[in-house]
Chains A and B, each alone.
Chain A
Amino acid sequence: MPEEKKLSEKESLELIASMINKAKNSYIESGFGPLLWGTLITFCSLMTYAQIIFHFTIGFDIWLLSLLALIPQIYFSWRAKQQKNFTRHDETAMNYVWSTFVICIFFLSFYNYKTQPEYSVALYMMIYGVPTFITGGIRKFLPMIIGGVICWVCSIASFYTGFANGMLLMAISAASAWLIPGIILRKRYLKLKNV
């Protein structure tokens, strides 16, 4: 790009639009986080459902996998941060939203462990919907907005089902909130990477 080329008014506006678009294209996320957590929570919910319905046990609490999944999540987040050479305007806000979510999930797990409430599944799905809906809204990503709403609908529905069907609803929530948006993000990311 020449350093001092004078531009016409039209060229200036075109340049502004093209650079803003270039910056926006850098925003495209790899979809790793939503794919990982969407797959994991959907799988754990379905496995819990299957164990109840078909009367078998796998010998350990399947939800412990979510603690293991923290390892790749932390590693890939760290690696992405190292490679990234810009910061988005909404990044700090997003980090606070998802940190609050993680803290609430740990708090809720502790609460469930201490009190064994009847409708704990509903509480989880209600909390799943919050960061998903906010992220979808701020980043104008409709699949996550819809995913957040589905979490809340499933949360209400789970008050009228037993625990086993609640697990099915949880699988629907996780697939809608993270797995499907994660697949969409991944496809977009790979498409853009190959351009």
Chain B
Amino acid sequence: MFKELDPILHSQLRLAVMSLLIAVKEAEFTYIKEKTNATAGNLSVQVQKLKEAGYIEVVKQFKDNYPQTTCKITPVGVEAFEAYVQALQQYLHAGKG
């Protein structure tokens, strides 16, 4: 029985954001934008969706008088990401077999 791929994660930009955030403790919005080559508008929408799903935590604050948005993966996000990778592997193994 195949697990269904999480629709929140099965999207290019959201998956890219989650993969980055799993590899670091936390990252600023500018870092994610630079690494994903996404536009600020696109990225904001996808970050908001991940936040609404409870997969990431978003903290907005000021640093040296400039607004700073920091994102961090939540334990729910880690669990969802792991489940997503396991499901992917299951699909790929089935394809090989």
Contact = CB atoms under 8 A, between A and B. Distances in A.
A86 to B, nearest CB: 4
A23 B23 contact: yes
Interface residues of B, number: 33
Contacts of A12: 5, 10, 15, 84, 88
A63 B30 CA distance: 42
Interface of B is mostly: helix
A88 B15 CA distance: 19
A15 interface: yes
A7 interface: yes
A114 interface: no
Interface residues of A, number: 26
Nearest to B23: A23
Contact of A2 (B12, B23, B89): B12
Given A1-B37, A19-B19, A86-B31, A6 B11 contact: yes
Interface in B1-57: 5, 10-13, 15-16, 19-20, 22-28, 30-31, 34-38, 42, 45-46
A87 B85 CA distance: 24
A55 interface: no
A10 interface: yes
Interface string A81-123: 0000111110100000000000000000000000000000000
Given A9-B91, A85-B27, A22 B15 contact: no
Given A9-B92, A88-B25, A16 B19 contact: yes
Contacts of B34: 85
A22 B35 contact: yes
Interface of A: 1-7, 9-10, 12-13, 15-16, 18-20, 22-24, 26, 85-89, 91
Shortest beta-carbon contacts, A-B, top 4: A23-B23, A19-B19, A85-B28, A86-B27
Interface of B: 5, 10-13, 15-16, 19-20, 22-28, 30-31, 34-38, 42, 45-46, 84-85, 88-89, 91-92, 95
11 contacts: A1-B38, A1-B42, A2-B12, A2-B42, A5-B12, A9-B92, A10-B92, A22-B20, A24-B23, A26-B24, A89-B25
Given A7-B11, A23-B35, A86-B25, 20 more contacts: A2-B12, A2-B13, A3-B11, A3-B13, A3-B45, A4-B12, A5-B12, A7-B12, A9-B95, A10-B92, A19-B15, A19-B20, A19-B35, A20-B22, A23-B24, A24-B23, A26-B31, A85-B30, A85-B31, A86-B26
